[in-house]
Structure 1
């Protein structure tokens, strides 16, 4: 695929995603993670209602939303790092709370 630049030269793209596609993919990934965290929160609260569980999953939902916003403004790598941190937070801390 060839892309013209502003000075008229042509640059060959070697695959990969365009920045717009990368933002969209990472925002969708964060949205799916947010949905999974929400479902996990509902399941945990139905089994064992706890304010600590609500706080943990609420923090993970907030972090996932932050990842979506970071993706929208073009900070896709930071967004994925933030999203990974949210998933690790829930997976690591949730068993300790039981």
Structure 2
């Protein structure tokens, strides 16, 4: 199982060659910074590429307190379109600090 975590940067920084802006989305893959940007879908897609999602069978999306159910369903639909060969499940995780935690197995 590999994991991607999506949250919002609380300060500007340069990490692993990525220029992070305060308030931008950041994507961690297995605990390491892997993506950053203003568009959450782009950050999620970059993170999913890093965990080689095409080789996995199941993608589970846990959405946090800051994400509404409609927004989460729309995100899950976009991920399903990008990965038609994988099952995609959506779970209300309720986590306070991460907008999305995504596992691929």
Higher strand share: 2
CA radius of gyration, larger in: 1
**TM class, shorter-chain normalised?**
under 0.3
Higher relative contact order (CA closer than 8 Å, sequence separation 6+): 2
TM-score normalised by length of structure 1: 0.25
TM-score normalised by length of structure 2: 0.24
Higher helix share: 1
